[in-house]
Amino acid sequence: MILTLDATTHQVLGQSFQQQSPMGATPVQITMGDYREVDGIQVAFSAKVNASLVEAANVTERLELNVEVDPAKFAMPTNGAPAIPVVPPTVAPAGGTAVPPVPAPAAAAAP
């Protein structure tokens, strides 16, 4: 990865690297800008990504740091829905692709 810094402000202007994909190594370049101070920290509010075949832009409109979050927002649902079982992925054979096993559907209740 190559990180580009502004010599005066020391802000990150961009980064470039090779992303591995099924098509091989793909060059990616990210350019940061629109730095604003948030709680004493300079933060890039815009980022542009150029990944050869895909371009994307990310614009942050508002950023708050260390905001209190109600723990209830992270509570598991209690509406009676069954939990989804976690199935660990299988290890891929040499030269193959790992495909996690699909759980069998629940048996239907007898009429």
Query: For residue range 35-84, what is the model confidence (pLDDT) as tens digits?
Result: 999 999 999 999 999 998 889 999 999 999 999 999 888 887 777 766 67
Mapped to the 3 state alphabet, what secondary structure does 50-103 carry? EECCEEEEEECCCCCCCCCCCHHHHCCCCCCCCCCCCCCCCCCCCCCCCCCCCC
Average pLDDT over residues 103-108: 58
Which of the two residues, 11 and 82, has the higher pLDDT score?
A: 11
Question: Which pair of tokens denotes residue 62?
Answer: 């508002």
Please give the Cα distance from 72 to 96 (Å, whole number).
43
Which of the two residues, 98 and 19, has the higher pLDDT score?
A: 19
Please give the Cα distance from 9 to 44 (Å, whole number).
13
Question: Which pair of tokens denotes residue 58?
Answer: 């990310």
Going by C-alpha positions, the residue among 2, 65, 4, 53 that lies closest to residue 33 is 4
> Which helix (H) or strand (E) is 111 found in, with range?
none
Q: What is the pLDDT confidence band of residue 16, given thresholds at 50, 70 and 90?
A: very high
